[in-house]
Amino acid sequence: MKRLAIPCLLLSTCLLLAANATQAKQGEGTGAEAFAQLEQLLPTPGDARTASGAPGPEYWQQRADYVIRVELDDAKQRLIGSETITYQNLSPHALTYLWVQLEQNRFRPDSDDMLTARAPNFEEFPYRALEQLLSRRDFEGGFDIQKVVDGDGEPLSHRIVKTMMRIDLPEPLASGESFVFQIDWENNIIDGIASRARGGYEYFEEDDNYIYEIAQWYPRVAAYTDYDGWVNKQFLGRGEFTLELGDYRLEITVPGDHIVTATGVLQNTDEVLTATQRERLEVAETAAKSWRISTTVMTNSTSRLTITPGIRSFSRG
- Find residue 78's DSSP bridge partners: 73, 188
So what's the pLDDT on residue 7?
42
Q: Cα–Cα distance between 174 and 179 in angstroms, integer?
A: 10
List C-alpha distances in Å: 271 to 73, 252, 314: 20, 13, 15
DSSP secondary structure letter of residue 162: T
Specify the domain boundaries for CATH 2.60.40 within the chain. 63-246
pLDDT truncated to tens, each residue of the chain (317 aa)?
444 444 433 334 343 444 444 444 555 666 677 777 666 666 778 888 888 878 899 999 999 999 999 999 999 999 999 999 999 999 999 999 999 999 989 888 777 677 676 766 767 766 666 666 666 667 788 899 999 999 999 999 999 999 999 999 999 999 999 999 999 999 999 887 666 677 888 889 898 889 998 888 999 999 999 988 999 988 887 777 788 999 999 999 999 888 888 888 888 888 888 898 888 888 888 888 887 777 655 444 566 666 666 545 444 44
Distance CA 261, CA 239 (A): 24
Cα dist from 267 to 50, 254, 270, 308, whole Å: 42, 16, 9, 7
Is 194:132 a contact under the CB 8 Å cutoff? Answer: yes
pLDDT at res. 192: 75
Torsions phi, psi for 26 (to 5 deg): -65, -35
Cα within 13 Å of Cα(276), Cβ side: 5
As to burial, measured by CB atoms within 10 angstroms (0-12 exposed, 13-18 middle, 19+ buried), residue 75 is exposed
| Angle at CA of residue 107, ends 163 and 111, nearest 5° | 50
Q: ∠ CA(252), CA(144), CA(172), 5° rounding?
A: 90
Sign, Cα dihedral of 149, 88, 214, 134: positive
CATH architecture classification, 63-246:
Sandwich (2.60)
Question: CA nearest 103: which of 187, 183, 212, 168?
Answer: 187
Classify residue 41 as left (phi > 0), alpha (psi -120 to 50) or beta.
alpha
Give the chain's length.
317
DSSP state of 222: B
Sign (positive/negative) of CA torsion 234, 239, 245, 251?
Answer: positive
State how far the Cα of 226 lies from the Cα of 91, in Å rounded to an integer.
8
pLDDT score at 112: 67
Instruction: Look up residue 111 and give its DSSP letter.
Output: S
Task: Describe the chain by its helix, strand, coil percentages, rounded to 5.
Answer: 25, 35, 40
**Distance from C-alpha of 86 to C-alpha of 83, rounded to nearest angstrom:** 10
Query: Which residues make Cβ contacts (< 8 Å) with residue 59, sequence separation at least 6?
Result: 48, 49, 226
Distance of CA 124 to the CA centre of its chain: 32
d(CA 288, CA 111): 46
Residue 181: the pLDDT is: 98
